[in-house]
Amino acid sequence: MVRHLLYSILAAVFVSGALVASGHAQEAAGSSSVRVDEPLHFTYLGAAGWRISDGNVVVLIDPWPSRLKYGGGGHPDDDRPDFARTDAAWSDTTLIDSVIDEADFILVHHGHFDHLGDVPYIARKTGAKVIGTETTMMILRAYGIPDEQLYAVGGGEDYQFEGFSVRVVPGIHSALGEKHYHDSRRYDRTTQLEAPLRIEQFIEGGSLSFLARFDRHEVLTMGSMNFIEREFEGLEPDILLAGINGSRLGLYDFDRRLLESTGFPPFVIPTHWDNFRLPYGFSQQPNIERNLIPFIETVGTLSPGTTVITPIHLEPFIVR
């Protein structure tokens, strides 16, 4: 019933190129600038998490299916355990196994728990190559992930792999706490960490974006509701995963600057818009009304040629 309610709400915001994801693979009919012979398969994992595949390579972005109830912001009907930030980090491995079966690469935007918390288990399970900051690498080393899987980056790297390349884009974290958030802490080779870490030990450690290049598509990812404008200029992805949670409203002219600096992409897919402390299947109506609907309407005004695809948790869709 909750999911049907969500469909109804999303259907109501079918405006200016918006497409509603369905329970079946869905095509985003598209711009003439996008070649149609290599579709990308997307699945939204919640928060900033994604599974993307072109049939040859499987890329995970900030996968965190566990969606633990921690730090407040839960729901009275959620009877799962409450975690404090001082508690040891925990992953719901049964749920992860039901959602993720393979991965070639994992891209991690920064080291916070809702981005990195499930990556140690997933990296060990899949053997995927993990690309992220040195802080991210040190956390993964603490969990025994071998060095041959780990690629520490700082921003500016542009790496070619078999069938896939990725440009690492310097980033900046969301302006949390009414713009008071700033965390300069970093882990490096001298840092002593012992797993399991406490949730609070999953520090940001610097933030990144990624330009992930598949055979026919370039996907620019965001892991927060912030970006460095000059770093996005000239990238011109055809697909933008746009961070749109409420903290973006504390930034100057965020939506316009984001669309302009990325060249008004043919496809925009909102990310990190949900309440990620709720389990899959719980209603996201407040975040839909607060985050998704206004953003879709704004894109329709600023970039009427852009197709906005509204994702639903675990519902696959295709961009051709």
The structural domains of the chain, with segments of one domain joined by +, span 2-319
Sign of CA dihedral 311, 73, 172, 13: positive
Angstrom CA distances, 30 to 110, 139, 247, 271, stand at 32, 40, 30, 20
Structure tokens at 157: 């790297």
Record the tokens describing residue 297, joined without a space. Answer: 């309407």
DSSP letter for 272, please. S
What are the angstrom distances between the C-alpha of 312 and each of 10, 21, 239, 282? 9, 6, 17, 12
* Residues of the chain under the 50 pLDDT cut: 1-9, 11-36
Cβ neighbours of residue 14 under 8 Å, at least 6 residues apart? 20
Strand order of the sheet with strand 58-61?
Answer: 27-28, 317-319, 40-46, 49-53, 58-61, 105-107, 129-132, 150-152
Distance separating alpha carbons of residues 91 and 268, to the nearest angstrom: 30
Alpha carbon separation from 121 to 73, 118, 144, 145 (Å, rounded): 25, 6, 10, 9
* Global pTM value: 0.90
DSSP 160: E
Beta 27-28 vs 19-20: how paired, if at all?
unpaired
pLDDT on residue 37 = 55
Give the model's pLDDT for residue 258. Answer: 98
Identity at 267, one-letter amino acid code: F
* CA dist., res. 182 & res. 315, Å (int): 34
pLDDT at 33: 41
The confidence score (pLDDT) of residue 72 equals: 76
The sign of the torsion formed by the CA atoms of 172, 176, 179, 181 equals: negative
Residue 138 CA, chain-centre distance (Å), reads 21
Residue labelled with tokens 């079946």? 24
Buried b (16+ CB within 10 A) or exposed e, 23-50: eeebebeeeeebeeeebbebbbbbbbbb
Q: Which fold has domain 2-319?
A: Metallo-beta-lactamase; Chain A (3.60.15)
Residue 213, phi then psi, degrees to nearest 5 = -105, 115
Q: How far is CA 316 from CA 24, 41, 50, 244, in A?
A: 7, 7, 10, 20
